[in-house]
């Protein structure tokens, strides 16, 4: 690419009539050098051998909001050093859009296909969302990691980068508040004089650990000691089932985020969008940029039919 630019630049400077072309090349060169400089600086800050690695396991599935959600989370993680991002897709086929986006982020990552078993997918009652994905991620960690920390980060939450500084040094299991959970607006351990007292969560449901998936992190060495710690296919009881398997008592947890006084993660939920109408197909847009944008859109097939 650079050689090509150089030849073009050389040619343009020799032919006086090609001044416009030269200006265009200079503009392009300028943009390219900005992009390269920015990428080099960013990549330099992404790894430091002295920091433990955080294995972020993110369940995801194909829908209109998938790439927007991964964009938000990915660009948060791009600001955090020593991350290994395990993106576990509830799908039987790889999604090229996801792969392309992960490559762009430049974060060390692993893309897994972890479909929800058919018997759960077809059930009408509440489905165990993200369970096959998280178990696939845990299996990968067990097979590839020896130390560091595991964190389950759903693709639709909002994360403050300070969360990762907090959880990176988890010795066994750490916990911290999660905002916007249930009608209570918050899920958090309740501490009195710095010690565990009880739980604050809008739905206790007989759980020993009434916490949100985003509200805890686990040390890898500790996880490896507990052989059968996987997540149950039990909607609402995934966190509790997994944490019980970790053989830890509430009093033994490490409470982060300044003694659970700060919120660094929120259970934001994204509004579901409808497929778009077919305005973009109108012939007046032929030969324009909209034909490119159309490729990444989902147009409602019933509307499309009516037009033809």
| Binding interface with ligand UGA (CB under 6 A) | 59-61, 90, 116, 129-130, 133, 154-156, 212-213, 235-236, 238, 267, 269
Minimal distance, residue 93 CB to ligand UGA, in Å: 14
From the list Mn ion, ligand UGA, none, which binds 90 (C-beta under 5 to 8 Å, kind-based)? ligand UGA
* Nearer Cβ to Mn ion (154/166): 154
**Considering the complex, what minimum distance in angstroms separates the CB of residue 59 from ligand UGA?**
4
- Which of 69, 90, 156, 166 touches Mn ion (CB under 5 A)? 156
Cβ 152 to ligand UGA shortest distance, Å: 7
Question: Per CB under 5 A, does 155 bind Mn ion?
Answer: no
Residue 55's DSSP bridge partners are 84, 150
For Mn ion, which is the closer residue by CB, 172 or 267?
Answer: 267
Q: Give the relative orientation of helices 19-44 and 2-14 as an angle to the nearest 10 degrees.
A: 150
Question: How far apart, in whole angstroms, are the C-alpha atoms of residue 80 and residue 76?
Answer: 7
Catalytic one of 69, 166, 238, 239: 239
Can you tell me the distance from the alpha carbon of 284 to that of 271, in angstroms, rounded to the nearest whole number?
A: 31
Asked if residues 52 and 150 have their Cβ atoms less than 8 Å apart, the reply is no
Binding at 240: pick from Mn ion, ligand UGA, none (beta carbon under 5-8 Å per type):
none
Residue 282 known to be catalytic:
no
Cβ–Cβ < 8 Å for 73, 50: no
Classify each residue of 250-276 as buried b or exposed e, where b means 16 or more C-beta atoms within 10 Å of its C-beta.
beebbbbbeebeebbbbbeeeeeeeee
The catalytic site residues sit at: 239
């Amino acid at each position: 690419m650079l050689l090509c630019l150089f030849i073009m630049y050389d040619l343009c400077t020799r032919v006086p009539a090609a001044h416009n072309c030269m200006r265009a090349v200079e503009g392009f060169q300028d943009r390219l050098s900005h992009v390269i400089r920015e990428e080099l600086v960013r990549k330099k800050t992404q790894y430091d051998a002295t920091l433990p690695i955080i294995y972020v396991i993110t369940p995801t599935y194909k829908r209109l909001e998938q790439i927007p959600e991964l964009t938000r989370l990915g660009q948060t993680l791009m600001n955090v050093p020593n991350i290994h991002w395990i993106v576990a897709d509830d799908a039987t086929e790889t999604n090229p859009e996801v792969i392309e986006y992960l490559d762009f982020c430049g974060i060390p990552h692993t893309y897994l296909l972890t479909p929800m078993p058919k018997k759960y997918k077809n059930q009408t009652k509440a489905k165990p969302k993200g369970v096959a994905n998280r178990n696939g991620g845990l299996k990968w960690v067990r097979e590839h990691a020896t130390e560091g920390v595991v964190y389950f980060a759903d693709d639709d939450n909002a994360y403050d980068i300070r969360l990762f500084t907090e959880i990176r040094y988890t010795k066994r299991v750490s916990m911290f508040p999660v905002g916007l959970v249930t009608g209570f607006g918050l899920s958090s351990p309740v501490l009195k004089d710095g010690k565990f007292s009880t739980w604050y969560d809008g739905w206790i449901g007989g759980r020993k650990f009434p916490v949100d998936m985003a509200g805890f992190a686990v040390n890898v060495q500790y996880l490896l000691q507990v052989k059968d710690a996987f997540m149950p296919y039990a909607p609402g009881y995934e966190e509790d089932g997994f944490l019980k398997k970790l053989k830890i008592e509430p009093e033994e947890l490490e409470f982060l985020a300044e003694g659970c006084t700060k919120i660094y993660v929120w259970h934001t939920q994204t509004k579901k969008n409808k497929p778009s109408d077919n305005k973009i197909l109108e012939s007046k847009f032929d030969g324009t940029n909209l034909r490119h944008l159309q490729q990444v859109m989902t147009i409602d097939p019933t509307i499309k039919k009516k037009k033809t």
